[in-house]
Amino acid sequence: MRRRGGDRDGDSGDSSGAEGSAGAARQQRRRHSWRPWLSTLLLGMLLIYISVPFLVRLFPSVLTKFVYLNFLAFPFFVDFRRPELLVNNTINLHLTTEPGVRVGIWHTVPSSRGAEARGQDQRWYEEALADAHPVIIYLHGNGGTRAARHRVQFLKTMGAADFHILALDYRGYGDSSGHPTESGFTTDVLALYDWAKARSGNSSILFWGHSLGTGIATNAARKLQEERGVQVDAVVLESPYTNIREAAAHIPITKIYRQFPGFGYLILDSLARADMFFRSDENVKVLACPLLILHAEDDSVVPPHLGRKLYETARSAYKDKTKVKFITFPKKLGLGHDYISLNPELPALVK
């Protein structure tokens, strides 16, 4: 009887051991079951990484989406017809720049005229342009609209400093019709310049470009000078680059491809195939109007050395060197790429 009991104990031990082994095997299988999925995911990501440069080369128009970012129409759900919800002394208007293209514009009048501006219509705002206060045609960067936070801050800062500001959404941006192109942007800017010039009397008009808009500003100023023999009164370039190819080689989004074989040929050269150049470094060699370049040392989007390089190119080309200025803002101010307008000294520097 004891032997049979002993046998039962042995059988029980064997059974427990088998169950333990089976449990351990199941756990091991569970631990390894995710490996095929991870391998598939990593392989898919690698294929996407490799294929993107070739797709860009085959379909260069894809690059326009990444450069212009006009589909990112932030802030969303803005009523462009009511700019007063975001900034005082401002009216909304539209301008037809060529057949089939109508662009949206906000006109902010100097704060010193704020009391007069309350309740006034577009005609009053147009007549106000001739009040001898300088007029800024503001050309924003890529992505977003004229209602973006840092652009509204610019309107407030320069309006308080007694500038008129005409903030333009190029074709394809905001509530403007049409599709974005480099030549189309120039057409929009010059149409707005003509509109403002016809109403501003002897008031100074300057182009103020930010980021992508710096290339648009120099394109427009050069075309105005070469084709009409007219100089804009001044050009201000905030966070500029030399040309779009060199900018693309330095912006954060391209960092993962800079060591990719054929990066220059597959991606950078494709910008020209998509008709995107924005050659500020060539444009400034032609300009003769006062030129002010602003760059923050902590700009993480467009490196400050590109702004300095553009300044050195302009200064070498200008006969009157005093017309070219370069101002940097130290890292401790934390202005970055978008918020130079937060610096309270900015209006005085411009004036």
Give catalytic status of residue 211 as yes or no: yes
Spatial separation of the C-alpha atoms in residues 266 and 111, rounded to whole Å = 50
Which residue out of 239, 270, 337, 338 is catalytically annotated?
337
Strand order, beta sheet including 234-238 = 90-98, 101-108, 164-169, 135-139, 205-210, 234-238, 291-296, 324-329
DSSP state string for 41-100: HHHHHHHHHHHHHHHHHH-TTHHHHHHH-TT--PSTT--TT-GGGTSSSEEEEEEEEETT
E strands in the chain: 90-98, 101-108, 135-139, 164-169, 205-210, 234-238, 291-296, 324-329
Q: What is the dihedral of CA 175, 248, 238, 92, to 10 degrees?
A: 0
Residue carrying structure tokens 């070498």: 316
Which residue out of 175, 188, 281, 299 is catalytically annotated?
299
Which residue out of 176, 200, 203, 211 is catalytically annotated?
211
- Strand, coil or helix: 224: helix
Nearest to 283, CA basis, from 253, 320, 326, 240? 240
Nearest to 87, CA basis, from 104, 107, 72? 107
Helix axes 2-33, 35-58, angle to 10 degrees: 10
Please, how many CA atoms are within 13 Å of residue 20, restricted to the half-sphere of its CB? Answer: 6
Greatest Cα pair distance in the chain: 121
Task: Check whether the bond before 261 is cis (ω within 30° of 0).
Answer: no
Give catalytic status of residue 210 as yes or no: no
Give catalytic status of residue 16 as yes or no: no
Q: Residue type for 271, please?
A: L
- Strand, coil or helix: 335: coil
List the catalytic residues.
Answer: 211, 299, 337
